[in-house]
Amino acid sequence: MTDTGIIRDAVTGWAEGHGSDGAVRGLVEEGGVRTAVLVEGPSDLAALEALAARFGRTLDAEGVCVVPMGGAMNVGRYAGLLGPQGLGLRLTGLCDARERPYYDRAFARAGAPADGIFVCVADLEEELIRVLGVPKTEEIIEAEGDLTPWRTFTRQPAQSGRSRQDQMRRFLGTRKGRKIRYGHLLAGALEPGRTPAPLEALFSRL
């Protein structure tokens, strides 16, 4: 069985104009991929992989490939290549509320049902922080050795008047790679039965 990471790389290259549909189709068929989950970026992938492990699920074995697209505005390209009018995969997706129109248009053009789109209110990080709670999230920040930069961040004038939850969400995006690391950590820290609604719905569909 072809590693899903190899398939993801091949799909990304194809979407960027490299490779061929025949080569990607071969990898997808060899890997047994039946469903593509279109997400904005690598932090979403990290969170979904951690949550899958939390649920005791192996997405590769289930024929599910999570595909980070490098931004929600690329969804039209990926949906067209992978969906019913392309490779014929079943499409699902996870996006922020402000990105829903892009996904709706892309899925409609690709011939994929809109009920496969699952929506976070602000973004995935906000969903995770809200369910975990500020104290638990701060414990994770401290365990990662980021407590000092976190506290420094909260004292910046630009953060005045923002809720602690919103400050945390913004903090995770202040350094390259931080959202990816914390996407994995926060999703992995969720307690059984305490999963953000859009993620619960997405995994129920897979």
pLDDT of residue 100: 97
Average pLDDT over residues 193-198: 94
Q: Which amino acid makes up residue 2?
A: T
Reported confidence tier of residue 1, pLDDT bands at 50, 70, 90: low
Q: State the average pLDDT for the chain.
A: 95
Given this model, what pLDDT does residue 88 score? Answer: 97
Pairing state between β 35-39 and 117-120: unpaired
Task: Report the alpha-carbon distance of residue 98 to residue 21 in Å, rounded.
Answer: 31
For range 16-34, the mean pLDDT: 92
> Is the per-residue pLDDT at 2 higher than 90?
no
Give CA–CA dist 78/1, Å, rounded: 23
How confident is the model over 76-134, as pLDDT tens digits?
999 999 999 999 999 999 999 999 999 999 999 999 999 999 999 989 999 999 999 99
- Give the global pTM: 0.94
Alpha carbons 115 and 122: distance in angstroms, whole number: 19
Q: Report the pLDDT averaged over residues 192-199.
A: 93
Average pLDDT over residues 186-201: 94
DSSP string, 83-148: STTTT-PEEEEEEEGGGHHHHHHHHHHHT--GGGEEEESS-HHHHHHHHH-HHHHHHHHHHTT-HH
175 SS3 class:
coil
- Dist CA 66 CA 153 (whole Å): 32
pLDDT at 20: 85
